[in-house]
Structure 1
């Protein structure tokens, strides 16, 4: 792994910085993900504004909950919670050669890791989280430094459901939709058997978006399996949704207005699983390694619970009203004009 990092990954990081620099020439503003190394250095060199826009609330230090990389669910108290965000500076390790980029490509002096996390050229770097502010009503310590705009949603345009899948959806009870997106199950066929057992026990149908889960299906009764399909179109026709908790899928599930169950795998997924369950917007959070059919049976029954159905419809209406993309565009224009 170390050899691969040295020979492949680190040179690729270094090359990407020059690519970003070339792309930024003549631009008025840079919007960047923190993993886009060199973005703030380029803004410093070009003397243009930049906006940090990570898809999860992991950058700006707050007191209400810790860095999700440290814990997705625990609360260590205000002081420790805020302290955990210091680990973000380790994301700019010296081997990623950002100082080589500064000196050779930008002709700027070297800097310390994390030095440009929140300020550049003496000005605060605005932070935008494209997530629902309603899910973070209790967070006060973002104050005026962070915009919680609301979720961004793709325009699905002319997207259509496969004809056979459409027929399955229209001719029978609303199904449970299962989608783990690009997440591979450790034991896909074991999970499949538990899922089939739970579906039969509760007399449910299912649409399985196979993705890279590793599951395979061959004409199982009351199950329609397809490699992929537009979440927006499928989720809205579901009785309930099982997914991995990635932020894009989570947002689409919330927008669908139907109950959901999250089975998280990694990264920010456990954070979203915990937050939605704690606020009553999912029926639970399970892990593949210790999941049993009885857990899925309980979840399927909970999806029929009037409270979960009511909560799902409530959050759908709220998220639709937040107009995340519109809020972000207005804010970006304001940042540019006031620079």
Structure 2
């Protein structure tokens, strides 16, 4: 079986597909991932065929303009609109051709909702397609609303389900380009926006969420419609840096701090608060600077490095402070460490709220409003026996799920 994955975005939008593709190859299947060039090395280093997509959202996020929009989208609304018109939209049109090129020999197409034109390609090639967003955002349910509408509210069953109808509007701004792609590349007639959001020719599109059902004990309206396979864990084959290993071995277990691709609004102020909180609670920290803007630290309690495998680092940490990205959250859940989430946007407040209610995370904080005392109190709470027990028990159950194997069997059943 030949499986083609179409995705765009940050590492959190790519890594789950890499984990699944590796497992598929172990079962004798062929895999291709089509995405931005920023991830070519990561994908190919895992033995997966890479197909370049013109639109590289990760590279765009690392530009000055991209960072400005990510940090303050409302403040830079004009800039965001210009980027969309002059950069993103033209690149999206070319990317649809790239997607088609990568999918031509596929037996099954697996796509992220950001991959515009994916279902159109599956229709043209007459092959099955599977919607596989990394977060539970696509299928209409009654238990909580669309995260794009509200990540924390609950409007009641009827309105909650209705909020997912906005997904039909997601491709409205690009429908002209989609139809241009359909006519010129696929040889298909024009269509209306949103007709492939939930179904294809009257048949429901299979949806897989690479998340654990243990995080959603109250949700029943996915049953029979959405498959929750469990988290797709990517286990790094590399080692921690020797200097980092030396720091880890030279004292008590540290707290891991990472914001991955999210830029802090004021990294210097955050570091001053972190230093004060660590001193007040007699803790140490390993800070993965990523795209946060954190440069370095002279504080002996803190080790700063650009990046490190989350699975390896969290296993040697006493807790994790992070932005609430689903991949980082999943790695912390797997390690069974208490978490503090400082969310930025999109799905991150949702995960922060859900982890707190489940009892494996302390109360979320916000970068803009938190004080050094707030952070100190949160570090104290991370040490509570109750939260440590809850995190440890949940980890035992999650580590039995094997999400990638479950997803492989699901895809094989479709073929």
Q: TM-score normalised to the size of structure 1?
A: 0.96
Please state how far the C-alpha of 1:94 moved relative to its aligned partner.
4.2
The aligned counterpart of 2:358 is 279
CA distance in 1, matches of 2:100, 2:286: 45
Matched, 1:56 2:118: no
Structure 2 CA distance for partners of 1:150 and 1:225, relative to 1, 3 Å: same
Residue 209 of structure 2 is matched in structure 1 by: 129
Gaps of 5+ in 1: none
Distance 1:125 1:216, change over 3 A: same
Task: Compute the displacement of 1:26 (Å).
Answer: 2.3
Q: Structure 1 residue aligned with 2:241, among 142, 162, 174?
A: 162
| TM-score w.r.t. length of structure 2 | 0.79
Secondary structure in 2 matching 1:207: strand
- Between the aligned partners of 1:43 and 1:199, the Cα distance in structure 2 is 53
Q: Which residue number in structure 1 is paired with residue 233 of structure 2?
A: 153
Partner of 2:156: 77
Structure-2 residue corresponding to 1:234? 313
Residue 3 of structure 1: CA displacement? 4.4
Structure 1 counterpart of 2:34: none
Residue 197 of structure 1 is matched in structure 2 by 276
Q: Which residue does 2:221 correspond to in 1?
A: 141
What RMSD, in angstroms, separates the aligned Cα atoms of the two structures?
1.3
Moved more, 225-234 or 244-253: 225-234
CA distance in 2 between partners of 1:86 and 1:54 (Å): 16
Deviation readout 1:15-34 (Å, 9 max, x if unpaired) = 11111112211211100011
* 1:63 and 1:79 in contact (8 A); partners too: yes
SS at match of 1:289: coil
- Structure 1 residues 4 and 288, CA gap change in structure 2 (3 angstroms): closer
Alignment counterpart, residue 217 of structure 1, candidates 280, 286, 296? 296
Report deviation, 1:155: 2.8
* Structure 2 gaps, min length 5: 1-78
Contact 2:122 2:129 in 1 (8 A): yes
CA 1:21–1:284: 2 relative to 1, 3 Å:
same
* Bigger radius of gyration: 1
Report the Cα distance in structure 2 between the residues aligned to 1:137 and 1:72, rounded to whole angstroms. Answer: 17
| Alignment of 1:100 onto 2:196 | no
Decide whether the 8 Å contact of 2:297 with 2:303 is kept in 1.
no
- Cα distance in structure 2, aligned partners of 1:49 and 1:154: 25
C-alpha distance in 2 between matches for 1:285 and 1:240: 14
SS at match of 1:31: strand
More moved, 102-111 vs 47-56: 102-111
Work out which of the residue numbers 115, 140, 147 in structure 1 matches 2:195: 115
Q: Which residue of 2 aligns with 1:331?
A: 410
Conserved? CA contact 2:151–2:346, under 8 Å? no
Q: Is the 8 A contact 2:362 2:382 kept in 1?
A: yes
SS in structure 2 opposite 1:128? Answer: strand
